[in-house]
Each structure stands twice: as C-alpha cells, then as structure tokens.
Amino acid sequence: MAHTLSSQKRIRQAEKKAALNRWRKTDMRTALKDFRDKLLHASLDDATAAYRVVSRLLDRTAAKGVIHKNQAARRKSRMAARLKARKDAGQLAAPPSKK
C-alpha cells in the first residue's frame, strides 16, 4: 500500500496507462488477425486495404510506446512480403494477356 500522495497517484496513473495499452494491443492484434484472414480468404483489394489499416495502427501503437518501433517495422515488413507473394501468385495463375 502506498503511503504518500504522489505514490498513490503514480499507482492510479499506472493502472490507467496499463488499461489503455492493453486496449491498444488488443486492437492491434485484432487488426492483424483480420489482415491474415483477408489475405487467405478475401480478394486482393480487401487484403491491401487491411494492410493499410494495420500498417497505420502499428505505427500509431509504436509511437505511443506500446510496442517497440522495430517490432512494428518487422511486422509491417512480413505482412508486405506476404501480400506481395499473394499478388505474385495471382499473376502467375492468370493467363498472360495478349497485346
């Protein structure tokens, strides 16, 4: 139990910050799952839109200090690689266009 007023205030602030960070992480994870689902089951346009949403969310989460900026960059890089692989696979499956 904290005795001084300042330590009691720090405990209150820490609880609020932890709750906010928990909400931000949950939101981020939900967006990541949504991207993975759309990458596998939805159209390429939907997956690209989901990538943009997750990318902004990762940057915002890193800026707030919830996750490290390198973790955000690593996740974005892996998602972009998966999206590119899906685009390339779609182009290989499509017949070549005759000009």
Ordered by where they begin, the domains of the chain are 10-88 (1.20.58.110)
Per-residue pLDDT at 1: 82
Residues for the chain: how many in total?
A: 99
Q: What is the pLDDT confidence band of residue 95, given thresholds at 50, 70 and 90? A: low
Cα separation, 2 vs 42, whole angstroms: 52
Go through 23-50 and write b for each residue having 16 or more CB atoms within 10 A of its CB, e for each that does not: ebeeebeebbebbeebbeeeeeeebeeb
Burial of 76 (0-12, 13-18, 19+ CB in 10 A): middle
Non-local (6+) Cβ contacts of 48 within 8 A are: 83
In this predicted model, what pLDDT tens digit does every residue of 25-82 receive, in sequence order?
Answer: 999 999 999 999 999 998 999 999 999 999 999 999 999 999 999 999 999 999 999 9
